[in-house]
Amino acid sequence: MSFLFGNRSSKTFKPKKNIPEGSHQYELLKHAEATLGSGNLRMAVMLPDGEDLNEWVAVNTVDFFNQINMLYGTITDFCTEESCPVMSAGPKYEYHWADGTNIKKPIKCSAPKYIDYLMTWVQDQLDDETLFPSKIGVPFRRNFMSVAKTILKRLFRVYAHIYHQHFDSVMQLQEEAHLNTSFKHFIFFVQEFNLIDRKELVPLQELIDKLTTKDR
């Protein structure tokens, strides 16, 4: 949540996606921030009583986009065409970009290019009122959950790239506590609602085991 970052002026990679104040989703976001503040992440990710699962997933997906946006924004100077000619998460895992619309056949590209494609694509989904309705009473589309799962699967890849390729830079910037807390929150959330296939999480499985074991 944004409170993790205090009032520091952080540059974000893409413009922050705001949830309109006064909306029900804004109230849900405030509820989530309050429960996160208690420090119990397992409790914080649970669906609040009486709330709609789609809306809860939507609010949190927007928030994870903002968090990753901020985290990646801190290390963009280190993630360049030269340092990261391919989008990878360690030596065994390489990601090629396709969005099914503009780029149908997966293309190999540098990490900064891939992440730019990815975050722009996510932003387009979040800005689509038919997918992420911000007005009360507007129903979610039938395919909302499958789109949300794809968004979260792709956002995970940014965490994976940062941990594998840029953790030294994160430590130099003293951002590791923010990164770990954000990622732990993300993992607890996707585990709670089975939103990412286990095989997709393999590049960070050891870290996931370490971060989640003591909270079981």
The binding site for Zn(2+) consists of 79, 84, 161, 166
Query: Binding site: residue ranges?
Result: 79, 84, 161, 166
Tokens for 16, please give them: 């922050």
Q: Other C-beta atoms within 10 Å of 89: how many?
A: 22
| CA contacts within 13 A on the Cβ side of 97 | 22
With left for phi above 0 and alpha for psi between -120 and 50, is residue 100 left, alpha or beta? left
CA 193 remoteness from chain centre: 15
Spatial CA neighbour of 29 closest among 7, 51, 9: 51
Q: Which helix (H) or strand (E) holds 47?
A: none
